[in-house]
Amino acid sequence: MAQEYRHIRRQLESLRTYNANLEAMIDAQEQEAGAYREQIAEVDVTQREIVPLMVRMLDTLERFVQLDLPFLPGERQERLASLHALMTRPDVDASEKYRRVLEAYQVEVDYGRNIEAYRGELELDGETLTVDFLRVARLALIYQSLDGRHTGFWHPYERRWASLDDSYRKPVAQALRVARRQAPPELIRIPVVLPKEPRS
């Protein structure tokens, strides 16, 4: 009986140690669960705040494109339409939507850092011409017809296409070659409209 008593006491001590350890684990898990609940609540608040922010960012980007030089209009409008459609999709989480909006902003920022030539259609005096466009960052948007007879640029304040005299024909053609990497980089001559004086 003494041996059985000692055996039961050892089991009781083991069970007490085991229970104490379980209680400590349960306390730690409850604290961790509480921290997770707080994080989930914060995520819900963040999501409620990030969605209106993204909508405002998208509206600002759309307004910027409307006021900017009218280059690559189809591509830029398609990007905006795609983002608007993305905002209403329930199967895409907020982080992916936010990433895509930032990506669109980055594309627009990059336009201001490079020179580009592309071909497109332009309506001039009721006639549709196929022209080569030259975009020099956001400084100038110039066109030249394929036969070189028509050269002009987008006037940012008048919001219209303006013709250039023949003295620009060769420099614009050379700038188009530079933009296409068909000629080495060099100083190019382009029309630039000076910024307006701020109103006092």
What are the boundaries of each domain within the chain? 2-111, 115-179
pLDDT tens per residue across span 18-49: 778 878 887 887 887 777 677 766 666 666 77
How far is 37 from 79, CA to CA, in rounded Å? 37
pLDDT digits (tens, 9 = 90+) for 145-167: 999 999 999 998 889 999 999 99
pLDDT greater than 80 at residue 64:
yes
Give the pLDDT score at 127. Answer: 87
How far, in Å, CA of 49 to CA of 191, rounded? 45
Entry pTM: 0.71
Helix, strand and coil content of the chain, in percent to the nearest 5, comes to 55, 20, 25
